[in-house]
């Protein structure tokens, strides 16, 4: 159910590729922009940014957020909240997480590992 809901939400949020390229200028400037962001993030940068995203989620008490926190068990979030956090992480790191992988991300530790190991995270 979470992946179906996520797909519905994403259909209304994403820009078609042609509009995204037009917004950035030409294909060449887009390629240059992408290549300037291809440095791999350090683990500490990923940890800090993931924790910041989770702490800024409206239903989360920031004082409870740690590297090990589980979204549902420790923070009391539901599956829709989980989808929203994964979407916020996608936006923060400028990447798209496939539904099969997104459904597995239910804690900060799993989000950190996935993003740190993703070659396009920026």
The total number of structural domains in the chain stands at 1
**What pLDDT digit, counting tens, does each position of 26-72 carry?**
444 444 444 444 467 899 999 999 999 999 999 999 999 999 999 99
Catalytic residue among 74, 78, 81, 99: 78
CATH assignment of the domain containing 106:
1.10.1200.10
Residue 103 known to be catalytic: no
CA–CA gap between residue 76 and residue 74 (Å, rounded): 6
pTM of the model: 0.67
Do the domain assignments include residue 122?
no
Q: Which two tokens stand for residue 43?
A: 């683990």
Task: Write out the residue range of the structural domain in which residue 15 sits.
Answer: 2-117
Give the chain's mean pLDDT: 80
């Amino acid at each position: 159910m979470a992946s179906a809901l996520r797909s519905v939400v994403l259909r209304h949020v994403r820009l078609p590729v042609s509009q995204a390229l037009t917004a950035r200028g030409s294909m060449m400037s887009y390629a240059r922009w992408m290549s300037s962001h291809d440095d791999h993030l350090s683990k500490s940068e990923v940890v800090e940014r993931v924790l910041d995203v989770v702490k800024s989620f409206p239903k989360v008490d920031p004082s409870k957020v740690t590297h090990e926190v589980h979204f549902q068990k420790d923070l009391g979030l539901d599956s829709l909240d989980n989808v929203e956090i994964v979407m916020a992480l996608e936006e923060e790191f400028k990447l798209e997480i496939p539904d099969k992988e997104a459904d597995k991300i239910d804690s900060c530790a799993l989000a950190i590992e996935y993003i740190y190991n993703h070659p396009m995270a920026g």
